[in-house]
Amino acid sequence: MSGILKGQFDHLSETLGRDRVLADHPVGPYTTFNIGGPADAFYEATSAEELAGAIVLARNADLPFFVLGLGANILLGDKGFRGLVIRNAAKRVSVSEEGILEAESGAVFWPDVINIAIDLGWSGLEHYAGIPSTVGGALWQNLHFLSPAPGRERTMFLEEVVLDAHILSPDNIRRRVTADYFNFGYDQSIIQHSGDIVLIARFQLKKADSETMRRITKENIEWRSTRHPPLDTEPSAGSIFKKIEGIGAGRLIDECGLKGTRKGGIEITHRHANIMINRGGATAQDVLSMIEFVVKTVQEQKGYVLEPEIAFIGEF
């Protein structure tokens, strides 16, 4: 508990529950990279109410906090997080007769939310099958997927089906905002800068045949399995560098011959040059030194400056 006062910790555990606030708790295993040190305090919110309550508590106590989804788009530092990590496990999902799917922000898209929609015959989310993401993390970056299927070869963005959301604003006011509030772009939304937290989101879906949607998810997952390392045996954070329009960061790295390069426990996978995998025991420092090496090599050989797309969280 190096960065948080004992009084602050006691206040958290008295309010949120003694057995539910964990001191010096390892956070790396809750990320898809399986890298990173402990949080001073760690709490798992199991409803939107609990999520909002924990954030208000941290803000009122001037305690730094971080809302963690599946940790699929972050690199957590080896020294961990000074403050409170709130793991969002608020997962309630319901669907109205008009095809409005309402999900708490910790609900996991694949397989949970997507399968509920498909089983009930509602279309719009099935394209994102196989991507690790909570609803909150997906809105944060406007989840997208370049469909490989004939007739559907285009990038689909989650914003196409977002109806509205319940957010907790930085001044702790809860309000409902419509999709345009998010100002979505490629890998962009307003909540990356505003400090708003998504509590609940609603998606407007369209009626469709469940079998057709199951076929789409199957095709997308098969396509992914040939290009992406499986998370259970080759932990990763997905693409490390931002896309360079018309060229592709992965292609540049590949053309520099960097696939298979290894630093400590980190390796650039042979499957996809923009993805690094944790070969076991990798540290955040390994990732940083690999990023530095790739940026330098691509700049020297290709003249492009790559920028990381993942977020760097905590102390390195």
* Interface positions with ligand FAD (CB under 6 A): 32, 66-74, 88, 105, 131-134, 136-138, 140-141, 143-145, 191, 197-198, 228, 231, 236-238, 311
**d(Cα 271, Cα 228) in Å, to the nearest integer?**
6
The amino acid at 64: P
The three-state secondary structure class of 316 is: coil
Contact 58, 43 (CB under 8 A): no
Q: Smaller CB distance to ligand FAD: residue 71 or 250?
A: 71
The closest alpha carbon to 78, from 30, 39, 43, 132, belongs to 39
DSSP state of 150: T
Q: What SS3 string covers 132-155?
A: CCEHHHHHHHCCEEECCCCCCCCE
We find the least distance from the C-beta atom of residue 11 to ligand FAD, in angstroms, to be 23
Q: 74 or 303: whose CB is closer to ligand FAD?
A: 74
| Nearest distance from C-beta of residue 244 to ligand FAD, angstroms | 16
Nearer to ligand FAD, 116 or 311 (CB): 311
Nearest distance, CB of residue 90 and ligand FAD, angstroms? 8
Residue 142, helix vs strand vs coil: coil
Strands 311-313 and 74-76: what pairing? parallel
Q: Measured from the CB atom, is 5 or 241 closer to ligand FAD?
A: 241
**Minimum CB separation from ligand FAD for residue 239, in Å?**
7
The CB-of-97 to ligand FAD minimum distance in angstroms stands at 27
- Shortest Å distance, C-beta 296 to ligand FAD: 24
CA–CA separation, 252 and 164 (whole Å): 38
Separation of CA 111 from chain center: 15
Count the neighbouring beta carbons within 10 Å of the beta carbon of residue 176. 12
Using the minimum distance from each CB to ligand FAD, give the nearer residue, 278 or 283: 278
Q: Cα angle at 124 between 191 and 71, to 5 degrees? A: 40
In the bound state with ligand FAD, the residue whose beta carbon lies nearer, of 57 and 68, is: 68
